[in-house]
Amino acid sequence: MNRKSLSLTILAVLSFAFSTAAHPLGNFSMNQYSRLEVGKSQIKLREVLDMAEIPTFQESVAIDTDRDGKLSQAELNAYASSLTPQYLANLRLTVNGEAVPVKPISSSASLGVGAGDLSTLRIVWDLIAELPSIGEKTLVKFQNNNYTERVGWNEVVIAGIEGVNIFDTSSYGNGVTDELKNYPQEAITAPLAERSAEFSLTTTAIPGNAKPLQNRDGRASTPVQQDKFAQLIAVRELTPAIALFSLLLAFGFGAMHAMSPGHGKTVVGAYLVGSKGTIKHAIFLGLTVTVTHTLGVFAIGLITLFASNYILPERIMPFLTFVSGLLVFFIGASLFKNRLFAALGWTKNAPRHHDHDDGHEHTHDESTHTHGGSTHTHLPPEKVTWRSLLGLGISGGLLPCPSALVLMLSAISLGRIGYGLILTVVFSFGLAATLTTVGLIFLYAGRVFVGTAFAQSRLFKVLPVLSAFVIASVGAVICYSSLG
Amino acid sequence: MKKIRFAQPVIIFLAAFAIISCSRSQATSVPDAKPETVAAQPSERPTVSETVRFLEERVKRDPEDFIANNKLAAEYLQRLRETGDITYLNLASRAANASLGTLPAEQNKGGLIALIQVEFSSHDFASARDHALRLIELESNKGYPYQFLGDSLLELGQYTEAETAFRNMEKFGGIQKIAQVATEQRLARLALLHGDNSGATRHFSAALKIASAIVEPPKETVAWCQWQLGETAFAGGDYKSAEKYYRDSLATFPDYFRSLASLARVRAAQQDLPGAIEQYERAVRILPDPNFVAALGDLYKIAGRGDQADNQYALVEQIGHLSALSGALYNRQLALFYADHDMKPDEAYTNAAKEYETRQDIYGADAVAWTALKAGKIAEAQNAIKDALKLGTKDAKIYYHAGMIAKAAGDRPQATRLLKTALSINPVFDPLQAENAKKALLELA
């Protein structure tokens, strides 16, 4: 696969856009969406062209180059690529009155099923325009002159990244159709006719009398958060110092990313509460997360690149989520059963009597006791099984983080596969480090209470049972949410 | 309860203007003066007005604001006439139904008017007629309900009743200019149907004059009158005048899809094949109306571009297929297309005959006759073509069909007479069919 077609495929997947609904607008319509994401040094543009049934049929003559009556993905990609120069030529972008060239990064094309089983065609372009240095007030004008004579829905959205303030514009900060994927169905609303945008931007505070960029509901538009990790791969020059610094950053990003919701912190914590885990177990857990996450990123990346015609990545994600949830549920349910039985004294040998190496003996009719000068606990369950740890680690790393996926795909596109892989592995280590640390904190937290009055309390005794219940519940919730 | 208001007559007449169905066409050959003038004009669809956005916001905030819904329906219908985009018909339908859902027709005449226009534009003429009769019960001393009634009756082929309705329209129409324009348009239409083409030109000219004299003349109405004058000139074979009117129309309302396509047709009649193709391609880009697409296909065929012709014909079929899913807007056009191109003769006849059961106008009879001939049903064709010719309409295509039917029936003198009449009315009424008429005449000779 050459780099160009690779880029096309990447875009097709990253946009996760595949409309299969019948076209709500007229069958003649040619619909367009433009999104300008304004940064300090560049404007990223996303252009979406959604052709309804009739224009798609009209264009199919040009697309179906092998005249077999079918539109293959290769033909669609070739068509999108051939359309790109003409489409871009009709986009006008000026900064302070000076025309700024808009360059293509990637394009993709996909078919949807419209009315009467006819196809609709969707083309997505990701474009970029380099900005000259931004002053206190920089005026940007954008105009889409494509298909001006055709009827259709035309939508323009402006967004600023953090640190860039946009003001004095009649455009909005959010869209209506989710990039032409969901048109208003029964609303009494004429198609939007937004083909142009004009706005000012600054990296300092906006002037007092200026009107900041708003969403369509009148609320202030929130700036776009940049995916800093995915940007690591795109550095222009890769020196050893930059590479080393990037690796450190990747580790940090991974560690921080694990702090965001998800990733099994609760599950790891709940599992290790009251268990007799060791550092060895924690490291094993971390390694499992790292390996699973790295493999997951690779697997999804490869599917994205080579098999997206057969398996849509957006369909894999819910499946992986379900599997992850199921793993967590079974671990939780199994733990819950064991811990509950143990707490109730229903274990096969309870109450049991055994000798310790130090020669003392006692019966396990109480949870905590002191002997040989030290206090220890025999709270059930005592054992951390490798199998459970493996399951836990897999569930924590199974779902690839979008940032890592974007980075990996970008790495392949840029021909920096090795570097991308290293960054992903280090990112995964960072992710695992957080989870392991959380596990260890929970592990040792239980021991801190030993000998305290809290340790004697009924709550302390049932905590492991409750935590197992939490694990099972979390698993069930994950499974349920993946179905929605 | 909101205060009930009645929609202003001006809006009603404006909205009702161009729901008259397109006329048919005929022709002579005149050199093309400046064909590039129109083709080079900047192309930009008129954007949705601030008024529309304002009204949409109103109904979003208060869905029971039936007055806003009525006004919105009128705005959408106007956009439909300007662009031919069916999206606006659907929107108008929603607005009209929302309005009548809030308040019934008895207290909401504006809602009823919107509904009638939606039904008319959807080719549901019987419902439009019935609702127009209901409107007359509510507003018996006004002219505009008779206009709706007359328009619907005309499409249903009830010509005598339609003429009565238009007389009442004239009687109650009042002195408002916009009402006078509407009346002149109807009188022109009647004149055309009865073969009085010069009378039609007179009435259309009068309509154009009155419309142009209005302070801030309604552009699309003016353009429509100019286009109709062009159609009448073309029907009589006066291609030079036709072209002038089409250009005037496009100068009034740039990218007016009706005039763009008609200009392409007049180019073809003037033997400017490349110019005609270019102009049709442009028209089809703006609005892939099956008539335009089929005509473009025919020109490709004449130019020896068989593959491209086939692509256009396939597109016509797809448009017909899609149309059938959402209504019957293009049924007649599709049936005639099949007959013109010797495709699916039985299906074409069945569809034409089915439509004629409920809509017995002369053009419906013509469609039945032409498709029946292609399906080998000569007797049915002979019966139907009599109905098509009953008003004495000077339409070259009807005479051509009549001539071909007579030829198939073995009536050589009648066939020769009818085909000669067709070609004398409009020598290039259709680039392909006019040639067929000439060939048939040679065979008959």
ipTM of this complex: 0.79
Q: Does B98 touch chain A (CB under 8 A)?
A: yes
Bridge partners (DSSP) of residue A51 are: A30, A121
| Residue B138, pLDDT score | 94
Task: For the beta carbon of residue A148, count every other beta carbon within 10 angstroms.
Answer: 16
Q: Which of residues 158-217 of B touch A (CB under 8 A)?
A: none
A364 burial level (CB within 10 Å; 0-12, 13-18, 19+): middle
Predicted local distance difference test score (pLDDT) of residue B435: 96
Of the pLDDT bands very low, low, confident and very high (cuts 50, 70, 90), residue B30 is: very low
The string of DSSP codes covering A416-452 is: -HHHHHHHHHHHHHHHHHHHHHHHHHHHHHHHHTTTS
Q: What is the pLDDT of residues B217-247, one digit of tens each?
A: 899 999 999 999 999 999 999 999 999 999 9
Nearest to A193 among B48, B98, B319 (CB): B48
Task: Dump the DSSP string for B370-394.
Answer: HHHHHTT-HHHHHHHHHHHTTT---
What distance in Å separates the CA atoms of residue B282 and residue B264, rounded to the nearest whole number? 9
3-state secondary structure (DSSP) of residue A139: strand
Tell me how far apart the alpha carbons of residues A424 and B298 are, in angstroms, rounded to a whole number.
60
Which chain A positions have a beta carbon within 8 Å of B88's beta carbon?
Answer: 190
Residues B342-350, mean pLDDT to the nearest whole number: 95
Contact pairs from chain A to chain B, CB under 8 Å: 83
B282 CB neighbours in chain A (<8 A) are 149
**Residue B134 or A295, more confident:** B134
Contact: A188, B85; criterion CB under 8 Å: no
What span, in angstroms and rounded, lies between the C-alpha atoms of B303 and B320?
25
pLDDT at B282 over 60: yes
Query: A193, B322: Cβ pair inside 8 Å?
Result: no
Inform me whether the pLDDT recorded for B310 exceeds 50.
yes
Q: Which of A170, A188, A189 to mutate to test the interface with B (most CBs of B within 10 A)?
A: A188
User: So what's the pLDDT on residue A276?
Assistant: 65
Mean of all residue pLDDT scores within chain B: 88
Taking the Cβ of residue B317 and every Cβ of chain A, the question of whether any pair is shorter than 8 Å is answered with no
Which tokens in the block code for residue B38?
A: 């129109």
Instruction: Please enumerate in sequence order all residues whose Cβ is within 8 A of that of B403, keeping only pairs 6 or more positions apart, or say none.
Output: B414, B415, B416, B417, B418, B419, B420, B421, B422, B437, B440
B72 with A53: Cβ contact below 8 A: no
Helix H or strand E segment including A99? strand A98-99
What does each C-alpha distance from B301 to A253, B265, B278, B297 come to in angstroms?
64, 15, 14, 6
Q: Using a CB–CB cutoff of 8 Å, tell me whether B438 touches chain A.
A: no
Contact status of B101 with chain A (Cβ, < 8 Å): no
Count Cβ atoms below 10 Å from residue B2 Cβ, excluding itself.
11
CB contact under 8 A, B287 and A28: yes
Residue of B nearest to A27 (CA): B322
Which residue positions in chain A have pLDDT lower than 50?
Answer: 1-24, 349-382
| CA–CA min distance A186, chain B (Å) | 8
Range of weakest confidence among A469-473, B331-335, B354-358: A469-473
> Is A149 within 8 Å of B43 when comparing Cβ atoms?
yes
Residue A458 makes CB contacts below 8 A (sequence gap 6+) with none
- Is the Cβ pair B315, A193 closer than 8 Å? no
CB contact at 8 A, B304 and B323? no
Q: Which of B116, B69, B129 is nearest to B95 (CA)?
A: B69
Preceding omega of A212 cis (within 30 degrees of 0): no
What pLDDT is attached to residue A465? 80
Helix, strand, coil in percent for chain A, rounding step 5: 45, 20, 35
List the single best residue of B38, B322, B326, B329 to mutate versus A (max A Cβ within 10 A). Answer: B322
Q: CB count, 10 Å around CB of B343?
A: 15
pLDDT attached to residue A307: 60
Residues A183, A184, A186: CA angle, nearest 5 degrees: 135
What count of residues does chain B have? 445
CA–CA separation, B164 vs B153, rounded Å?
10
User: Which burial class, exposed, middle or buried, applies to A270 when counting CB atoms under 10 A from its CB (0-12, 13-18, 19+)?
Assistant: buried
B59 touching chain A per CB within 8 A: yes
CB distance B320 to B344 below 8 Å: no
> Could you give the CA distance from residue A172 to residue A242 in angstroms, rounded to a whole number?
38
- Can you tell me the distance from the alpha carbon of A382 to that of A376, in angstroms, rounded to the nearest whole number? 12
Q: What is the dihedral of CA A195, A199, A203, A209, to 10 degrees?
A: -150
Beta bridge partners of A128: A44, A103
| DSSP 8-state class, residue B19 | G
pLDDT attached to residue A480: 82
Residues making up chain A, counted from first to last: 484
Q: Min CA distance, A29 vs chain B (Å)?
A: 8
CB of B86 within 8 Å of a chain A CB? The answer is yes
B interface test, pick of A23, A25, A28, A51 with most B CB neighbours within 10 Å: A28
Q: Residue B76 is nearest to which of A25, A27, A190, comparing CB atoms?
A: A190
For A111, the enclosing helix (H) or strand (E) is: strand A103-113
- Name every chain A residue with its beta carbon within 8 A of the beta carbon of B288: 28, 54-55, 58
Name the 3-class secondary structure at B338: helix
Rounded to whole angstroms, the Cα distance separating A171 from A139 reads 14
Residue B407 has pLDDT above 50, yes or no: yes
Mean pLDDT of B364-385: 98
Residues B73-110: pLDDT tens digits?
999 999 899 888 888 998 999 999 999 999 999 999 99
Contacts of B72 in chain A (CB under 8 A): 188
Q: Give B328 to chain A, closest Cα distance, Å.
A: 15
User: Angle, to 10 degrees, between the axis of helix B9-16 and the axis of helix B144-156?
Assistant: 20
Which pLDDT value is given to residue A462? 75
Amino acid of residue A179: E
User: What is the distance between the alpha carbons of residues A3 and B60, in angstroms, rounded to a whole number?
Assistant: 48
Percent of chain B with pLDDT over 90: 75
Please spell the DSSP secondary structure of B191-234, one letter per residue.
HHHTT-HHHHHHHHHHHHHHHHHSSS--HHHHHHHHHHHHHHHH
B311 touches chain A (CB under 8 A): yes
